[in-house]
Amino acid sequence: MLGESDLSKNAVIDFNKLNIVPFVSVDNMMKLVLKVGVETFLTELAGYIEEDFRRWESFDKTPRVASHSREGVIELMPTSDGTLYGFKYVNGHPKNTHEGLQTVTAFGVLADVDSGYPTLLTEMTILTALRTAATSAVAAKYLAPQNAKTMALIGNGAQSEFQALAFKAILGVDELRLYDIDPSATDKVIRNLEGSGFKITKCKSVEEAVVGAQIVTTVTADKLNATILTDNLVGSGIHINAIGGDCPGKTELHRDILLRSDVFVEYPPQTRIEGEIQQMPEDFPVKELWQVITGEIEGRNDDRQITLFDSVGFATEDFSALRYVRDKLTGSGLYEELDMLADPDEPRDLYGMLLRAEQKQKNS
């Protein structure tokens, strides 16, 4: 394995030229995040995500390829900027929690378009939680009320701490109002965020949680059309970060909230299938986040405006995360070298490579 002594700390490794496919395991991903620092990791990752939104038009875009079952969904999320190709495999199975399993698991691949060779294979369960939180904070940077410091977190599952830390690192949010139908989930968040610089209030209802909040994040897991947030709870000037409605038949907001809000999305063809706006007619007006980031359209323009980021997650965000991890591997040693690329002496003689392996076995 290459280490810091082998390469300049400032140079990005070209794994393709080294004929290496680095694999980042869950263990090494955790070590990488802790080495960088969680809030620094989120802030730097947000920079990559914002950079790629600014060059939105250079990407291939398609709604994710989904295979739905009664219990959940398995999806592939591909994209390319013409130089690199990336995809993520991800599932969403809410029932898993009751069986001691993760609701979401994922892995991703980054590849060189010129050769077609993979250049990175990595776990993306932890990385997806980080990129989802970073994307939420990037959107809020443009859509939330100025100097917003208080956020309600409705749904206190696996994504909650990441959301809280991303909003703290990027927007300066330092007060949390928490609610979950399972009080033990809220206790878990309070315990995990102890010493992180938050004032935290454990609330007994959604109504109590949203009182005084300038940002409301809804992130529940059940795969059904639910009304987590009702219209009467949404006051003027609030920003809603709706990330739980992420597959067909799964929503969290009453449709009247959407009628009162300026709704911002990542990629409309996907969000109309999977987001909160699946409740609305096909011609329901939405605005695209990339256009806000590039300055083509306005984001928040009024103190009384209700902004809603209807986020379902899009492939470019995973692409950004894969790029970021690839760049952070330089000098880290936090990867394994996978023997994934056949390398015969002569490119057309793949069978000869097999025969030579046979002979080697016989001679050993």
Q: How far is CA 265 from the centre of its chain?
A: 14
Q: Are strands 287-288 and 262-265 parallel, antiparallel or unpaired?
A: parallel
Are 216 and 152 spatial neighbours (Cβ–Cβ below 8 Å)? yes
Instruction: Name the residue with tokens 């609701």.
Output: 103
Query: Which one of 6, 52, 180, 246 is the catalytic residue?
Result: 246
Question: In angstroms, rounded to a whole number, what is the distance separating the alpha carbons of residues 265 and 310?
Answer: 5
3-state secondary structure 47-62: HHHHHHHHCHHHCCCC
> How far out from the chain centre does Cα 110 lie?
16
Give the separation between CA 274 and CA 60, rounded to whole angstroms.
19
d(CA 131, CA 134): 5
The whole-angstrom separation of Cα 278 and Cα 253 is: 11
Query: Is 6 among the catalytic positions?
Result: no
How far is Cα 350 from Cα 151, in angstroms, rounded to an integer?
58
Q: Which of 268, 174, 157 has its CA nearest to residue 221? A: 157
Q: Are 255 and 281 contacting, i.e. CB atoms less than 8 angstroms apart?
A: no
The catalytic residue positions are 246
